[in-house]
């Protein structure tokens, strides 16, 4: 997802999420895009039947290409709102390609649209068009933001690389510090912009411990960057643990991709 936002798959995407929740049980689908391969999309969650799974995956493959969609959907004893599949097809429209580094969350009849877009006109138009395509019982909450122009510089510097740590710890490996040396130089060119360092883990182990580890790693990255001359108050830290995977946690390769650090330039 380079200069990707979260729903936009045309560039490097971060993470797209699509889901639905009802009162007692939940039907959810999350599709995430990140730089696994070029613009790869991961779709995960629980759906009530095989027909729904096929519809969701087929739609995403239509939008992004079959080779880019990783299907991690499962079937479960969940209940979807009336005509959920039909409405989801409307939500999964080509306009999502204008968004990157974002999330689309459908909770019952409430849709939260987050991510980055190129300008204010696109930000307003996307939410408006989505609301107009659905019946009046749906509410679309527009959490899109205009992408910082400097994000592309940061994305290009990081490339398709992982900032490596020692296993189960927040101690940087030499390969990780090498990448951060390059990032420090790139971030020094941002001229007053603030950057959020975001830590992620795989899904092995408990969630609480993983969130704490991801935050500790983000803070370790900040400490290293500050030691290279960057201002501490210009760097924020967040730990999201295993909540935003970009690959399957069923394989070692996928887990390695999920253990990552992201850099988000604030607009």
pLDDT of residue 97: 77
* Segment 161-207, tens digit of pLDDT: 899 888 889 999 999 999 999 999 999 998 888 999 999 999 899 99
Per DSSP bridges, beta strands 100-107 and 26-34 are: unpaired
* Phi, psi (rounded to 5 degrees) for 100: -140, 165
pLDDT of residue 39: 54
**pLDDT by 10-residue block (mean), the chain, 267 residues:** 30 28 35 43 75 86 80 77 81 82 70 80 87 87 81 85 89 94 93 91 92 96 96 95 82 86 87
pLDDT of residue 208: 94
Q: How far apart are CA 208 and CA 244, in angstroms?
A: 14
pLDDT of residue 226: 97
Give exposure, 117-131, as e/b (b: 16+ Cβ within 10 Å). bbeeebbeebbeebb
Kindly list the strands in the beta sheet with 100-107, ordered across the sheet, starting from the edge strand earlier in the chain. 100-107, 110-117, 139-146
Q: How far apart are CA 172 and CA 169, in angstroms?
A: 8
pLDDT of residue 11: 22
Closest-CA residue to 80 (of 158, 168, 21): 21
Is it true that domain 151-265 has CATH number 3.30.1330.60?
Answer: yes
User: What are the C-alpha distances in Å from 99 to residues 54, 85, 102?
Assistant: 24, 22, 7
Domain-wise residue ranges, the chain: 18-146, 151-265
Which helix (H) or strand (E) is 47 found in, with range?
strand 40-47
pLDDT of residue 198: 94
- Domain at 18-146, CATH from 2.40.30.10, 3.10.620.30, 3.40.1520.20, 2.120.10.30: 3.40.1520.20
For the entire predicted model, the pTM comes to: 0.57
Residue 14 contacts residue 6 (beta carbons within 8 Å): yes
Q: How many CB atoms lie within 10 A of CB 63?
A: 18
pLDDT of residue 230: 95
pLDDT of residue 60: 83
How long a stretch of residues is the chain? 267
């Amino acid at each position: 997802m380079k200069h990707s936002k979260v729903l936009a798959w045309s560039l490097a995407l971060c993470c797209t999420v699509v889901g639905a929740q009802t009162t007692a049980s939940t039907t959810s689908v999350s599709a995430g895009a990140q730089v696994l391969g070029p613009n790869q999309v991961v779709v995960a969650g629980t759906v009530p039947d095989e027909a729904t799974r096929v519809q969701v995956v087929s739609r995403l493959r239509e939008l992004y290409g079959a080779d880019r969609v990783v299907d991690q959907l499962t079937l479960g004893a969940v209940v979807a709102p009336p005509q959920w599949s039909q409405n989801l097809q409307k939500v999964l429209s080509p306009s999502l390609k204008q968004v990157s580094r974002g999330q689309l969350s459908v909770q019952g009849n409430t849709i939260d649209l987050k991510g980055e877009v190129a300008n204010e006109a696109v930000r307003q138009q996307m939410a408006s068009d989505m609301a107009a395509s659905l019946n009046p019982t749906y509410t679309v909450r527009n959490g899109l933001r205009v992408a910082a122009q400097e994000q592309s510089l940061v994305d290009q510097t990081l490339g398709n690389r992982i900032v490596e740590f020692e296993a189960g710890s927040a101690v940087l490996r030499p390969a990780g510090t090498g990448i951060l040396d390059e990032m420090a130089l790139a971030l020094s060119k941002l001229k007053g912009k603030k950057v959020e360092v975001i830590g992620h883990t795989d899904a092995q182990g408990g969630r609480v411990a993983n969130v704490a580890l991801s935050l500790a790693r983000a803070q370790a990255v900040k400490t290293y960057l500050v030691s290279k001359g960057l201002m501490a108050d210009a760097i924020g830290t967040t730990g999201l643990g295993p909540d935003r995977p970009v690959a399957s946690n069923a394989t070692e390769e996928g887990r390695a991709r999920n253990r990552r650090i992201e850099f988000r330039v604030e607009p």
